[in-house]
Structure 1
Amino acid sequence: MPQVSRVVAVVVAYNRRELLMEALAALAAQSRTLDAIVVVDNASDDGSGDAVRASFPAVDLVTLERNTGGAGGFAAGMAHALEAHDPTWLWLMDDDTIPTPSAAAELVAAVEAQPEVTIAGSRVIWTDGQDHPMNTPREKPFVSAAEKSAAQAASTLAVRSSSFVSMFVSAAAVRQWGLPVADYFIWNDDFEFSTRLLRSSRGIFVPASVVVHKTKLLGSTDLDPGERFFFEVRNKVWLMRYSRGLKAWEKAMYGASSIRRWIRTIRRSQQRPVLWAGLRRGLAEGGRTRPVSNTDYFADLPAVANAVARVEAARE
């Protein structure tokens, strides 16, 4: 059968050379051949870029001069992929995401069976085979009977958000609704991005598509985050104040859920003073600032800034 969709993988990498090599080998072994693979090297200093050049010369390597975080890496990589490879679908993942051989094929089959879908997420497991709590899907609240039925008929689940740990996203939807907000750096960037696209379209979870998320520990997002807790708090405040992804009632629902999770995280933490400091700083910065534009965020990286500007200028 001819391949209609063009699938381009975008992998964001930072100082995990061995895992990156494993991820690229897994992408090369997909039963559904990918049309291109873009790797964004976020200024790694462990030889990741050289390893890609040596072992995977066909990979399109984008090397950044500073660490722009996961959010910046995906924004830069998606803009480059959209301009250089003309994809139908972008397959987004971190460098510790190892797809099983049929992961791409199952995603393609699922989205092509449901034309209204713009985002599809894989089932994410840990190294021991159990579902990873950090990437557990939740059914879309108040999903319509028609959408629920269509998803079930394709052995999928209707969802309201998705994770950058194997997110399959329509290139047309990105061109229409924009790239991730790079200034988030880490945390909540995929939630903001996916809810923004899915506010007016459909998203699904595809359990037949399986990837392994090789985190050091098995845990959910409330696992003791240390100083990174600041980004969770600041970005959630930014999301509630400025994102177009959530309706008012959704902001109330997800906001209440976030507060409960923050309390639980601090209670369980072995470094409570660090988390309390992150909470105070995150609330303060989230309340008095807003994310800068993507072109401003990449102002010191002209090639990236120009690519991002061109993609976002073409939004419908």
Structure 2
Amino acid sequence: MTSHPVVVAVVVTYNRRELLQTTLEGIASGTRVPDAVVIVDNASTDGTAEFLQQYQGTVTTDVVTLNTNVGGAGGFVVGMERAVLDHRADHVWIMDDDTEPQPDALREALDVSESYRQAAGKAPAFIASRVVWTDGRDHPMNRMRPRMGASENERSAAARLGATQIRTASFVSVLIRAEEIQQHGLPIADYFIWNDDLEYTARISRRGTALTTNASVANHHTKVFGDAGADPGPRFYYEVRNKLWVYTRSNALAPWEKVLFTGASLRNWTRTIAASPNRKVLLAGFFKGLRHSLKAPRSNDQVLQGIYALRNVQEPVR
């Protein structure tokens, strides 16, 4: 890795043109901007494709327009692979299209990553930003808990840098070392939405170090301030199926972690269903997710076969 590591941002978007514009403005206004931005458009129908065709930013953009919506999971597979293979990234900075990185988000994440490497002799697998809602409160949907089982030395080493050891993070401003992607592979596209980030960040941090730092901040522009327990409607299917896939089909979690996570999920699901005015919808999603979790996810090649429609690389405006 060079003294000026190559950083490629990956943004996945679907039918949120105005929010995407905010995301790109946040990236471009940083005190450290990425060397390129890969934007994966999941077959949007709201004018996003036209906006991206005309977009002229101050950072090189690599726009990939898909002919099928393969969800956030599939979009990140496409974008992360392109960042590593085509752009030769040292770090891949990933986020959804409702993320607004604050000016120092990338620079602080890079600084913490390098400082930890110098102090501990090994670089962290990823650095996750502190995620806040539009009013500055910590977003409960993106809450990151300290890693259970971390040694006192490990916790102290992170604390000296203003960081905390964590186990998992959401795909809202996460800086991942390309070497980790090459070693552990890509997210699982068949998750479509939800919990692909749980599985992937847990996979690459199981035997490595992952950190979050309050110095790197991103706003998450969700419609409401709430966590995953908010009534998800028909999408509850993906919550159930995908979490069960994590617990039964992935080696991302240790056996004791699977027991704890499963218990927590069962409690959360029970509360969500009990509090919902649409219990029939959630119960239908629960049983459908339970049934479909019995079959393993398809390979990324199967899910992503034939999805490419257009690629457009634009040089930055000087």
In which range does the TM-score fall when normalised by the shorter chain? over 0.9
1:264 partner letter: R
The CA deviation at 1:59 is 1.2
The reply on whether 1:120 has 2:120 as its aligned counterpart is no
Aligned-residue Cα RMSD (Å) equals: 1.4
Query: What is the TM-score with the length of structure 1 in the denominator?
Result: 0.93
The CA deviation at 1:302 is 6.5
Give the secondary structure class of the aligned counterpart of 1:121.
Answer: strand
The CA deviation at 1:301 is 2.8
The CA deviation at 1:25 is 1.1
Unaligned runs of 5+ in 1: 305-316
Structure with the bigger percentage of helix? 1
CA distance in 2: counterparts of 1:213 and 1:18, whole angstroms: 14
Runs of 4 or more above 2 Å deviation: 55-58, 300-304
The CA deviation at 1:54 is 1.2
CA distance in 2: counterparts of 1:302 and 1:73, whole angstroms: 11
Q: Deviations over 1:169-218 (max 9, x none)?
A: 11000000010000000111000000000011100011111111000111
The CA deviation at 1:268 is 1.4
1:290 partner letter: A
Identity across matched positions, percent? 44
1:292 partner letter: R
Partner residue, 1:174 = 181
Partner residue, 2:266 = 259
The CA deviation at 1:23 is 0.7
Q: Is the 8 A contact 2:66 2:308 kept in 1?
A: no
The CA deviation at 1:81 is 1.0
Q: Is the 8 A contact 1:159 1:203 kept in 2?
A: yes
Q: Is the 8 A contact 1:103 1:210 kept in 2?
A: yes
2:83 partner letter: A
Aligned residues: 302
CA distance in 1: counterparts of 2:251 and 2:150, whole angstroms: 19
CA distance in 1: counterparts of 2:3 and 2:280, whole angstroms: 54
1:205 partner letter: T
Q: Deviations over 1:36-77 (max 9, x none)?
A: 111000000111122122123631101111100010000110
The reply on whether 1:23 has 2:30 as its aligned counterpart is no
The reply on whether 1:297 has 2:299 as its aligned counterpart is no
Greater RCO (Cα-Cα under 8 Å, separation 6 or more): 2
Q: Deviations over 1:122-158 (max 9, x none)?
A: 1111111111100011000111112111111110000
CA distance in 2: counterparts of 1:155 and 1:303, whole angstroms: 44
Which residue of 223, 245, 257 maps to 1:238?
245
Unaligned runs of 5+ in 2: 118-122, 311-318
Q: Is the 8 A contact 1:227 1:278 kept in 2?
A: yes
